[in-house]
Amino acid sequence: MTHKRLWIPGPVEVHPDVLQACAVPMITHRGKEYQKIHSGVKGKLRQLFGTEKGHVYLFTSSSTGAMEGALRNLCGRRALSCTCGNFSERWHDIALENGKEADRYGVEWGQPNRPEEIDRLLSTGKYDCLTLVSNETSTGLFNPLREISDVMKKYPDVSFAVDAVSSLAGVPINPVELGIDYLLAGTQKAFGLPPGLAVVWASDRALEKSAKVPGRGHYFDLHQFRKMDEKNETPETPVISLIHALDVQMTRMLAEGLDNRWKRHREMATTCQEWANSRFKMFPAAGCWSTTVSCIENTRKDVTVKQLYEKLLERNAVISEGYGKLKERTFRIAHMADTTVAELRELLGWIDEILKK
Amino acid sequence: MTHKRLWIPGPVEVHPDVLQACAVPMITHRGKEYQKIHSGVKGKLRQLFGTEKGHVYLFTSSSTGAMEGALRNLCGRRALSCTCGNFSERWHDIALENGKEADRYGVEWGQPNRPEEIDRLLSTGKYDCLTLVSNETSTGLFNPLREISDVMKKYPDVSFAVDAVSSLAGVPINPVELGIDYLLAGTQKAFGLPPGLAVVWASDRALEKSAKVPGRGHYFDLHQFRKMDEKNETPETPVISLIHALDVQMTRMLAEGLDNRWKRHREMATTCQEWANSRFKMFPAAGCWSTTVSCIENTRKDVTVKQLYEKLLERNAVISEGYGKLKERTFRIAHMADTTVAELRELLGWIDEILKK
């Protein structure tokens, strides 16, 4: 079957070298060779996080597993779920499904969660954990993470859990500077790997607190990871081939240089945004457009989202229709991982050709 | 680095064609191409399970995740954990870590869990869930699964959860015939895939019951899987490359023929057992030797387990030292997945050469 080039916000297109790294012969996860890979990956992830502090854990799961882990480890009393789209809403559901007390601070899809409202809600003293999606993939929105993190610093007893599923490795996120306690990401987005592996950074404070939270379970318990981390191993048999591929991809990433990587991602984002606003309209509120995925509102009468999707599919390019209730109203183009500005321009050129017809 | 051939009970050696299947370009997990792979895998797994009944789910996690899932879905009141080695003991720990009430019916390592004792314990009416490891990897023991399943049929209200992590695809296990409610396996053992994917078969009864068990969480909730199963999708982004590789490997497996596969595994087991008993001594109680992994007690004075391990490593063959407290007393040889009788004989020949020196 002809390969279709992915422009969807995960899984994204994976570089051939990284794919080949997934085909590595098996090794034991209880031996020096694995420990070396694990240690190498951790070290490179620390460069990405920009800090030697805290703990870096590899979860053999989708990002959703790491989202569940955040609540099981850090919600001892009551969580405040900041929601602004599908994935942040799911995080709230996950809290309730895990028997946690949780309230939702929700905004309309396309709007950001507001620091001042978070401040007001936390000042009630009801909460010991806050969940925030930095980059809401369903609406292409980047929340005001820095401003919210300034608010969070006023509440050191409230654990700050941040979903960076589709932003980490596409934009710089330093969890120490931002006072984050639990930062999670999936590897099938801006990391440019196949799905099946999640990366978690946890603060010392998160480890201390979670030690006192009952019912953490086993599989996502940070303390299970902590116990094996000294040996550079995971508590359970990990997804070795993806960890090996992550090592290869992190080496590629650092060879590009992180500053170059951030610059390339910013350039792709502005290219897409400028193009989108002259043909359509960016969907999220101004100032909150994601650097890794553009959610574009179809303001035109001469083409439907479905037609755009199908015409691009004829060229073996897969964009994403809008998520859920936005399906017909918006479409999404991911510009992250190994994608270049030139490739993006080519895709946008194809859409222009479709629009002319 | 020279590749070291794995004789450990997981991860096992993976066939080159299966490794290459892990390097497949990415596709979306919300589209027809993925659905076709998912549906194909499910159909082939049904042939392996020997039944069209029940539900087949793919968990993006280690087997341990699926073990946690068993308890979160099926333990509503109190679990009876049958333990006979490390992994069954861990399952008991997982119950407690998840805040479940659970009692342990433990036997000495190397001994099987006894059907009559299970009958006696269940007759108290205290339990609504029983966990049993069919093939205890740490001791190379296969529990009397058929006899225990006969007992379980007397207790239809007790959910029967079976860990077939290192047995499924190496021996026939028909969950319907055995009255199993929740059967789990990892793909890095007798399936012969890299780790990172677990397979779960669940009965209709398991689905009905779990609907009433509160606090199932999200990530391992059977009902999340059920909702997406009709579309041949998973609730979260799955480990696509391993699912694709599983499809390829299941095709290879069915091409060999399941009867041939069972026969080859039995032949490897008896070859290893006869060899072991004439040089050393099989560790588990007679009649309970595993078909997929032999745990051998080192009864000799002229060689230590460490020496054996190291001498074989010089030949790029990795066997397994004993697990935990059995580390120096036993060693383990896995004979499962794509391994042939001839390869096994060669390995045993190498050990004979080491013993002669």
Place of tokens 């610093």: A153
Closest among B335, B265, B310 to B4, alpha carbons compared: B310
> B316-339, pLDDT tens digit by residue?
999 999 999 999 999 999 999 999
With b meaning 16 or more CB within 10 Å and e meaning fewer, what string describes B160-183?
A: bbbbbbbbbbbbbbebeebbbbbb
ipTM (interface predicted TM): 0.97
Q: What average pLDDT does range B109-131 have in this prediction? A: 98
Residue B287 Cα distances to A113, B110, B275, B345, angstroms: 63, 11, 16, 22
Contact between A236 and B65 using a beta-carbon 8 Å cutoff: yes
d(CA A18, CA A195): 12
pLDDT digits (tens, 9 = 90+) for A70-103: 999 999 999 999 999 999 999 999 999 999 999 9
Mutate: best of B33, B197, B241, partner A, most A CBs <10 A: B241
Whether B1 shows a pLDDT value over 90: the answer reads no
Phi/psi for B347 (5° steps) reads -60, -45
CA dihedral A8, A291, A173, A139 (to 10 degrees): -60
Q: Which of A182, A215, A202 is nearest to A77 (CA)?
A: A215
Distance CA(B129)–CA(A262), nearest Å, equals: 52
Q: Which residues pair with A314 in a beta bridge?
A: none
Distance from CA of A177 to the nearest CA of B (A): 30
pLDDT in tens, B169-204: 999 999 999 999 999 999 999 999 999 999 999 999
pLDDT at position B138: 97
- Asked if B11 lies within 8 A of A216 by C-beta distance, the reply is no
A337 has pLDDT over 80 = yes
Confidence of residue B357 (pLDDT cuts 50, 70, 90): confident
Q: Do B196 and A194 touch (CB under 8 A)?
A: no
- Residue count of chain B: 357
A357 confidence band (pLDDT: 50, 70, 90): confident
Tell me which DSSP letter residue A325 carries: G
Q: DSSP assignment of A173-236, as one string?
A: --TTTTT-SEEEEETTSTT---SS-EEEEE-HHHHHHHTT-S---STT-HHHHHHHHTTT--SS
Structure tokens, B341: 């009788």
pLDDT band at A19 (very low <50, low <70, confident <90, very high): very high
**Whose CA is closest to A197, among A294, A293, A56?**
A56
Alpha-carbon dihedral A344, A345, A346, A349, rounded to 10 degrees: 130
Does any CB of chain B come closer than 8 Å to the CB of residue A322?
A: no
Does the CB of B318 have a partner CB in chain A at under 8 Å? Answer: yes
Nearest CA in chain B to A220: B65
The minimal CB distance from B8 to the residues A28, A94, A239 is found for A28
| Token duo for residue B325 | 């407290």
The CATH-assigned architecture of domain A18-255 is 3-Layer(aba) Sandwich (3.40)
Whether chain A has a CB inside 8 Å of the CB on B25: the answer is yes
Q: State the Cα–Cα distance between residues A297 and A284, nearest whole angstrom.
A: 9
**B270-287 pLDDT per residue, tens:** 999 999 999 999 999 999
Instruction: Enumerate the residues of chain B whose CB falls inside 8 A of the CB of residue A33.
Output: 1
Out of B12, B93, B216, whose CB is closest to A97?
A: B216
Is the pLDDT confidence value at A200 over 90? Answer: yes
Distance CA B210, CA B92 (A): 19
Residue B307 CB contacts under 8 Å (≥ 6 apart), including other chains: B354
**DSSP collapsed to 3 states, chain B:** CCCCEECCCCCCCCCHHHHHHCCCCCCCCCCHHHHHHHHHHHHHHHHHHCCCCCEEEEECCCHHHHHHHHHHHHCCCCEEEEECCHHHHHHHHHHHHCCCCEEEEECCCCCCCCHHHHHHHHCCCCCCEEEEECEECCCCEECCHHHHHHHHCCCCCCEEEEECCCCECCECCCCCCCCCCEEEEECCCCCCCCCCCEEEEECHHHHHHHCCCCCCCCCCCHHHHHHHHCCCCCCCCCCHHHHHHHHHHHHHHHHHCHHHHHHHHHHHHHHHHHHHHHHCEECCCCCCECCCEEEEECCCCCCCHHHHHHHHHHCCEECEECCHHHCCCEEEEECCCCCCHHHHHHHHHHHHHHHHC
Could you please state the CATH topology (level 3) that the domain comprising A5-11+257-356 is classified under.
Answer: Aspartate Aminotransferase, domain 1 (3.90.1150)
Cα(A144)–Cα(A142) distance, integer angstroms: 7
pLDDT given at position B329? 97
Q: From residue B200, give the alpha-carbon distance in Å to each of A292, A354, B49, B161, B186.
A: 35, 45, 11, 10, 9
* AA letter at A198: A
Is the CB of A188 less than 8 angstroms away from the CB of B22? Answer: no
Residues of chain B in contact with residue A29, where contact means CB-CB under 8 angstroms, are: 11, 195
Residues of A in contact with B318 (CB under 8 A): 28, 31
Cβ distance of B218 and A94 shorter than 8 Å: yes
pLDDT tens for each residue of B55-98 = 999 999 999 999 999 999 999 999 999 999 999 999 999 999 99
Q: Which of B8, B59, B61 to mutate to test the interface with A (most CBs of A within 10 A)?
A: B61
Q: What's the gap in Å between the CA of A212 and the closest CA on chain B?
A: 13
**Strand, coil or helix: what is A260?**
helix
Q: Does B172 touch chain A (CB under 8 A)?
A: no
- The pLDDT confidence band at residue A48, using thresholds 50, 70 and 90, is very high
Minimal C-alpha gap between B44 and chain A (Å): 21
At B227, list the tokens: 């909702």
Q: How far is A92 from chain B (nearest CA, A)?
A: 11
Work out the average pLDDT over B44-49: 98
- Contact assessment for residue A138 and residue A320, using Cβ atoms and an 8 Å cutoff: no
pTM for the complete prediction?
0.98
Handedness of CA B114, B119, B120, B122 (dihedral sign): positive
User: N- to C-terminal Cα distance for chain B?
Assistant: 28
Residues B165, B178 contacting (CB under 8 angstroms): no
Band (pLDDT 50/70/90 cuts) for residue A177 is very high
Give residue limits of the domains in chain B. 5-11+257-356, 17-255
As a whole-number percent, the residues of chain B with pLDDT over 90 amount to: 99
The answer to whether A60 contacts B63, with C-beta atoms less than 8 Å apart, is no
- The answer to whether A62 faces chain B, any CB pair under 8 Å, is yes
* Beta strand extents in A44-188 (DSSP E only): 55-59, 79-83, 102-106, 129-133, 135-136, 141-142, 159-163, 182-186
A251-275 confidence digits (pLDDT tens): 999 999 999 999 999 999 999 999 9
Is residue A218 scored above 80 in pLDDT?
Answer: yes
Give me the pLDDT at residue B53, please.
98
**Does A322 score more than 80 pLDDT?**
yes
Give yes or no for A35 touching B (CB within 8 A).
no
User: CATH assignment of B17-255?
Assistant: 3.40.640.10
pLDDT (average), residues A15-42: 97
